[in-house]
Structure 1
């Protein structure tokens, strides 16, 4: 304790004449304390900087979100890659131009066209199955009430329970980087006559035709093979066993008709005479999804016309199923006439005037798809 007394006596404890000296000691103590604090803060800062640089060296960089300009996160977001059973995200290392198939140009490749990527929904199925039978209320209203020829409530689920031909899930697989599924969408335009495209068309994996579309006698120009025939009741015809009959239900009564035509044959008339019985491969019957119908109307034709034409429906069906899409027989012929390749239509051009479909707007969509590299259009004659 004797060693402590001089420090205490020379400090604040001493009174009277020691006041000035005690004040100097107090200032010296504060100075030493301040120095210790600065040294402590410096050591803490050194530890923090060391740990920060160590972390950066491990991760190869650091992201300071609060320093990033507005919109940076949106620009850095990776686009969805189309997948029939669900969308996958590309990793940053994959880059925006990763191939989604083995074709030279693939429908599903992201980053090729912003316009296409903004409107294309890879998760909506073009086929109506038992897995997606429940329609959203807005789709049901548009299909049954606002668009349908017959506007009355309809229990489509009840109708489906009797349709044993309806698949439980989509018959089309997911996108495969090692696959090149080439599809020909063959329209009925008179520009096919004299085109000589028959051999080219027949080389595709899927060949999709619309309504009547005869091939016998026109093989040199339109080909002889068919894998998918898209029809509605008033345009239906019998098909060979190896062809998929794809029903396009423009109205709810069409579902009742397909059930009848494959079984009892009770329905013979809708708004026009229809086939009482239909001879097709029941295992290959497919129903065009009304939700997909509305998706095309909202995203692509943008409500031009009352609803999209059958040709437009088939084209986007192919864009959601195939890796490569080639288009034949769409639009007018070289003289500007709109007619079928198997007939001379004296009312050519009437299609453009009805208001049901907007042929000019749909032609512009096809042109834009071609510019975006998503389809190849064979112009015909």
Structure 2
């Protein structure tokens, strides 16, 4: 039952353009009941992360059937606040957070979403310390742990109540997922012989691990972040950023969302990341559409659907 008077769902009823985009009950996460021949045939027409095109039927089946069922996933969010509103902070890694002193404010939310190289050590005053949801792909997680080790990012967040959310980019993610949930080494592909469970600490259980549903990923791409990039030769590699998936998941799970460290119109004023020692130029890679994300976050902020931190 809706108890929060200013929730995103209630705002969606008041804003025509948002109402046309927003599907409040879309499937957010995959679970083992999702895999059958009918689903395979439907989803093999879409390239990952939007479906299972050019993946291996048996390997996808083996991985998806290990994902805990819907009842075991327990992603019902709650709040102790008097107004009944579930408040979430989605924290990107943008340089705008450097010196922001937003840490305590971020940690005051009911839930905190972080992504990829979520460096906390030494930046607690700016970004806080809590993590409720950590969003990643196998590749972004591994490359973040390698690339930011020198900054103290030696393991993914391991808060007591944490949930991990994976976005599957291709076959390698399903190979990784199967090994993670079985607690074995990866048997084939680019992560061969790696043991995914070793990255997640001793308290890891499969119930803590969620996998974004390809339908949700496709809905984000087709409705919220419909890029002209898909009309170019490079269409197959375009996907929203991992941060975009995290923010839009928060908008579907929470009543009130505050976004920090997301790209803004004046991004050039700031270093690429809040933990960069020197001011680095932001590179717009071909597989993402940062220009579109700048416009979308501003549009959602201006419509009061979320609050975007745009600097002090």
TM-score range, shorter chain: 0.7 to 0.9
* Partner Cα distance (2:299, 2:49) in 1: 31
Matching of residue 245 in structure 1 with residue 164 in structure 2: yes
Deviations 1:44-92 (A, max 9, x none): xxxxxxxxxxxxxxxxxxxxxxxxxxxxxxxxxxxxxxx8xxxxxxxxx
Identify the residue that residue 208 of structure 2 maps to in structure 1: 284
1:233 and 2:138 correspond: yes
Q: Measure the CA separation in 2 of the matches of 1:261 and 1:307.
A: 24
Q: How does 1:121-140 map to 2 (within 5 A)?
A: 121-133=23-35, 135=39, 137=41, 139-140=43-44
Task: Report if aligned partners of 2:98, 2:126 keep a CA contact under 8 Å in 1.
Answer: yes
1:369 aligns with 2:278: no
2:64 alignment partner in structure 1: 160
Shift of residue 178, structure 1, vs aligned partner: 6.6
Q: 1:340 — aligned with what?
A: 273
Please tell me whether the aligned partners of residues 143 and 290 of structure 1 are also in contact (alpha carbons under 8 angstroms): no
1:16 alignment counterpart: none
The one of the two structures with greater contact order (alpha-carbon pairs below 8 A, sep at least 6) is 2
Distance 1:215 1:174 in 2: 24
Give 3-state SS (helix, strand or coil) of 2:253's partner.
coil
Identify if the C-alpha distance between structure 1 residues 171 and 340 changes in structure 2 by more than 3 Å, giving closer, same or farther. Answer: same
User: Does 138-147 or 216-225 show the bigger shift?
Assistant: 138-147
Supply the RMSD in Å over aligned alpha carbons.
3.1
Matched, 1:208 2:113: yes
Structure 2 Cα separation of the partners of residues 137 and 380 of structure 1: 47
2:87 paired residue among 161, 167, 182: 182
> Any idea what the Cα deviations from partners look like across 1:280-317, whole Å, max 9, x if unmatched?
52231111111100111111111444121111111110
1:96 maps to what in 2? Answer: none
Q: Answer yes or no: is the 8 Å Cα contact 1:112–1:372 preserved in 2.
A: no
1:115 paired residue number: 17
In structure 2, do the counterparts of structure 1 residues 309 and 378 end up closer, same or farther at CA, with 3 Å as the change threshold?
same
Q: How big is the shift at 1:225?
A: 0.7
Change (3 A) 1:278 1:154: farther
Count the aligned residue pairs.
277
Q: Evaluate the alpha carbon distance shift between residue 219 and residue 175 of structure 1 in structure 2; reply closer, same or farther with a 3 A threshold.
A: closer
Q: What residue number does 2:244 align with? A: 312
TM-score by length of 2: 0.78
Q: 1:142 aligns to what SS in structure 2? A: coil
What is the alpha-carbon distance in structure 2 between the residues aligned to residue 223 and residue 145 of structure 1?
A: 30
CA–CA distance in structure 1, aligned partners of residues 49 and 256 of structure 2? 35
Q: List 4+ stretches of structure 1 deviating above 4 A.
A: 144-148, 174-178, 271-276, 344-347
Secondary structure of 1:366's aligned partner: helix
Do the aligned partners of 2:89 and 2:259 also contact (CA within 8 Å) in 1?
A: yes
Which protein shows a greater Rg?
1
- For 2:89 and 2:124, the matched residues in 1 are separated by 15
| 1:259 correspondence with 2:175 | no
Partner residue of 2:4?
A: 102
Gaps of 5+ in 1: 1-82, 84-99
How far off is 1:264 after superposition?
A: 1.2
1:298 paired with 2:217, answer: no
Instruction: Evaluate the alpha carbon distance shift between residue 220 and residue 178 of structure 1 in structure 2; reply closer, same or farther with a 3 A threshold.
Output: closer
